[in-house]
Structure 1
């Protein structure tokens, strides 16, 4: 049986692991304890949010919505690796899941397939929501993956758990797919190494960053649909647009894969933030600015 530490101690154990912690409002007292117990705790559960923009994501996870009041997790792990603490205690993040999975977590053995939704997960798991669209192409920056590793290891270290106590929502509740974009086996390997122990099972490959063709993005950006009649469509445009959304320069990524005027304006802002001006900040990607955007927001540039 594991009892959660106090809120202040929880924040400190994350900081001791090297996590950059952002305390949001009265997070220490924001919980759903009036609706049921929290504890004993047995593991850490990782989710993705299906949202974009850190401020918006943190607000949603803190307050929830009409059908699912907040907090929706204990911490929000942003693209830049900062962990925003939004609640402490019972949180609406895990829902009902498989009792056989819970038993495997407690026993620290390989997880069975989740085929039931009968057991209260909000009671037994710490929950972390990770800022990601969950579409399989939204990048997972290195700083964000490192933060997931650190918060998981910090909690496991505190309770004396192994990396087998870290699971994904998709491993708990039938029908869930989160986190999408990296394997939980891969993350448990990272946590195990951080804890100084051997990997808990077969190692899975690291998530492969999306690749963006510089020449194709330039072609799409230079095509004026008003003049040509039809824009150049390229799937990599959505990857770049998602990075611009994460940078706070674009409201949302388009779905049609062409470089519209709003994307042109947003990319020009990125170029100016990189020190360019005049015709060098015209919204048409160049190799330097595109590689810098990819390095920060998790995609590779293929020249």
Structure 2
């Protein structure tokens, strides 16, 4: 019975939860419900860098400070429901296109150095209650812009300003807040250096935060068969002074009763078994 062994559920009933930020954002309402049912006083969330991917709403613009000027190839993958986008570099138009339907890749060569990028939506009369564009990725000379930039601001049509989400930690935090969890009861620990592996880096970031904040018991919320490995890594990083429990959310791609009937189930189980042997 390998699945229940990997997808372990062994909570400590701690008043603190830790969430792996790579969990799908549509599972965050479930996390918030779980936290409230358990009387959680705080949620810690961590995660490594993620690809530059955003839903863009009508009238919204993205302002990016890349820190260091660049020249070379700029490419953007976009899809949408009509209208289009304009991409500015230090105030100059670099790309401007109409976008309808499936993803398209738009490319240009930047000859004069550019440090600041601004992505604007072009009007299409779409409903303000639904995204107009989906940006799948944005690259500079083959490197994801999230890896290059110093900061990103998302400015909505009504003037509301949001920060970007260059890591899974920040994306998960945004989803938790949208699901109703108070921002002041959330501790975000982004990871930008995952040289030793993403799961291990996440565990180290959480352990450092626990030591700083005097946390001695925590329940880690993760997904499916990843639970045993994540719990082991977090316990190892935190040491004996922190009691680490694990809560495994059900994974539809690797269901407990029928995982062996799905290719994704075999892949996930095999991956976790190999990783446990390696770690």
TM over 0.5: no
Kindly indicate which of the two structures has a greater share of residues assigned to helix: 1
Kindly indicate which of the two structures has a greater share of residues assigned to strand: 2
TM-score, normalised on structure 2? 0.26
TM-score, normalised on structure 1? 0.24
Greater RCO structure (CA 8 Å; 6+ sep): 2
